[in-house]
Amino acid sequence: MKKNQNESLENQDIEIRLLVDAIYQKYGYDFRNYSQAHVKRRILNRFNLSGMKNITDMIHESLANRKFVDQILMDLSITVTEMFRDPAFYKALREEIFPLLQSYPFIKIWHAGCSSGEEVYSMAILMKEEGLYERTQIYATDFNPVIIKQAKDGVYPLNRMKEFSVNYQKAGGKGSLSDYYTINSGDAKLLEILKKNIVFATHNLVTDSVFAEVNLVICRNVLIYFDRYLQDRVIKLFVDSLPEGGLLCLGSKENLQFSSHYHEFNPLIPKEKIYIRKYLL
Ligand SMILES: C[S@@+](CC[C@H](N)C(=O)[O-])C[C@H]1O[C@@H](n2cnc3c(N)ncnc32)[C@H](O)[C@@H]1O
């Protein structure tokens, strides 16, 4: 590659870092330890859509225009999700984890990085079917306020329900997914009874502290966007949220193996990335 080309790519990387820094300093959203490849891809995509001359223009626009920053937050947030995503994981919860929870008088669950709520309602349905929901409190958090509002509403395009139903059946669903929603102008609205024990809130895993002490943390498909340092910090947050015997569930492409907190957990169902916090003797 020619020297000039190399230099301009290097400059682009510097400008991206400055943009990320400006967003942190002005608005407190800290993407400095997200995976660099992820941040670069998403920022360049926004740059191409923006019609601006260079990334430095994006810095000026970010400092002056909150709406532009909200767009970047949305870009960096990647909110792709689905109900009963990875059905085998939910089947493992139903068949192997819930029997352990049956003896608990009260169960607290934290869905960290819950996006638009599909995985949270999946959990609520599962717990209802296993007779655990009435003594469960679910905290569902995400740093993106727009997506948390959607999660609270629990309204999804009807055309996605077919795919969600297939997942539900594969996860060992005991009825029909349509038992849990009503249809209104092309949308599926999840039943209010599912929301009864769910608290939705904004919480930033990078800048906020422990949310609550819980028995089960579900943080799936979030750590993949963080670098090793940040993954470790967030896992420490989970260590501090879980008592001995508490459970941590990660996404299919995530694991604890490289974390400095690995020794605090035992793999319980390794295939499904379910870990148990060790008992201290
Ligand atoms: C790909 S979605 C995963 C959603 C769901 N957990 C699942 O597995 O289907 C990643 C979510 O993590 C959230 N997220 C990213 N950075 C975060 C942070 N610092 N704190 C809290 N949530 C974050 C995003 O807003 C997004 O909704």
Is 28 contained in some domain? yes
Give the CATH number of the domain where residue 144 resides.
Answer: 3.40.50.150
Is residue 117 a contact partner of residue 150, using CB atoms and an 8 Å limit? yes
Question: Are 155 and 97 contained in the same domain?
Answer: yes
d(C-alpha 250, C-alpha 213), whole Å? 18
Q: What is the pLDDT of residue 7?
A: 82
31 lines ligand 1 (CB under 6 A): no
Q: What is the per-residue pLDDT across 98-138, written as a single tens digit (0 to 9) for each?
A: 999 999 999 999 999 999 999 999 999 999 999 999 999 99
Q: What is the pLDDT of residue 262?
A: 95
Is 274 a residue whose pLDDT tops 90?
yes
**Closest-CA residue to 223 (of 249, 199, 245, 203):** 249
Q: What is the pLDDT of residue 19?
A: 98
Domain termination residue (choose one: 77, 110, 141): 77
Is residue 247 a contact partner of residue 172, using CB atoms and an 8 Å limit? no
Is residue 136 a contact partner of residue 71, using CB atoms and an 8 Å limit? no
Residue nearest to ligand 1 atom 7, measured at CA: 81
142 lines ligand 1 (CB under 6 A): yes
Domain termination residue (choose one: 35, 59, 77): 77
Is 216 contained in some domain? yes
Pocket test for ligand 1, best of 120, 144, 231, 233 (most atoms within 8 A of CB): 144
Distance 116 CA to ligand 1 centre (A): 9
How would residue 155 be classed by pLDDT, with cut points 50, 70 and 90?
A: very high
pTM higher than 0.75: yes
86 lines ligand 1 (CB under 6 A): no
* Mean per-residue pLDDT, 214-243: 97
d(C-alpha 48, C-alpha 30), whole Å? 23
Is residue 157 a contact partner of residue 186, using CB atoms and an 8 Å limit? yes
Is 248 contained in some domain? yes
d(C-alpha 112, C-alpha 27), whole Å? 21
Question: Are 127 and 23 contained in the same domain?
Answer: no
Question: Are 65 and 118 contained in the same domain?
Answer: no
* Mean per-residue pLDDT, 17-25: 98
Question: Are 104 and 49 contained in the same domain?
Answer: no
What's at 48, amino acid-wise? N
How would residue 28 be classed by pLDDT, with cut points 50, 70 and 90?
A: very high
Q: What is the dihedral of CA 209, 81, 62, 52, to 10 degrees?
A: 160
195 lines ligand 1 (CB under 6 A): no
Is residue 230 a contact partner of residue 31, using CB atoms and an 8 Å limit? no
Other beta carbons within 10 angstroms of residue 9's beta carbon come to 11
Is 82 contained in some domain? no
Q: What is the pLDDT of residue 280?
A: 81
Question: Are 107 and 168 contained in the same domain?
Answer: yes
The gap from C-alpha 233 to its chain's centroid, in whole angstroms, comes to: 16
Question: Are 34 and 92 contained in the same domain?
Answer: no
How would residue 1 be classed by pLDDT, with cut points 50, 70 and 90?
A: low
Distance 142 CA to ligand 1 centre (A): 6
Q: Following DSSP, what letter does each residue of the chain receive, concatenated? A: --HHHHHHHHHHHHHHHHHHHHHHHHH----TTB-HHHHHHHHHHHHHHHT-SSHHHHHHHHHH-HHHHHHHHHHHH-----TTSSHHHHHHIIIIIHHHHTT-SSEEEEEES-TTSHHHHHHHHHHHHTT-GGGEEEEEEES-HHHHHHHHHTEEEGGGHHHHHHHHHHTT-SS-GGGGEEEETTEEEE-HHHHTTEEEEE--TTTS------SEEEE-SSGGGB-HHHHHHHHHHHHHH--TT-EEEE-TT--STTSTTGGGEEEEEGGGTEEEEPPP-
Is 279 a residue whose pLDDT tops 70?
yes
Question: Are 133 and 197 contained in the same domain?
Answer: yes
Is 208 contained in some domain? yes
Domain termination residue (choose one: 59, 77, 95): 77
Is 185 contained in some domain? yes
Q: What is the per-residue pLDDT across 197-224, written as a single tens digit (0 to 9) for each?
A: 999 999 999 999 998 999 999 999 999 9
Is 32 a residue whose pLDDT tops 60?
yes
Ligand 1 atom closest to the Cα of residue 204 is 20
Question: Are 73 and 139 contained in the same domain?
Answer: no
Question: Are 111 and 11 contained in the same domain?
Answer: no
Kindly report the length of the chain.
281
Question: Are 67 and 104 contained in the same domain?
Answer: no
Distance 144 CA to ligand 1 centre (A): 8
Range of the domain at 12: 3-77
Question: Are 125 and 249 contained in the same domain?
Answer: yes
Q: What is the per-residue pLDDT across 48-90, written as a single tens digit (0 to 9) for each?
A: 999 999 999 999 999 999 999 999 999 999 999 999 999 999 9
Is 154 contained in some domain? yes
Across the chain, mean pLDDT equals: 96
Ligand 1 atom closest to the Cα of residue 251 is 8
Is 41 contained in some domain? yes
3-state secondary structure at position 236:
helix
Q: Indicate the number of domains in the chain.
A: 2
Q: What is the pLDDT of residue 211?
A: 86
Question: Are 53 and 165 contained in the same domain?
Answer: no
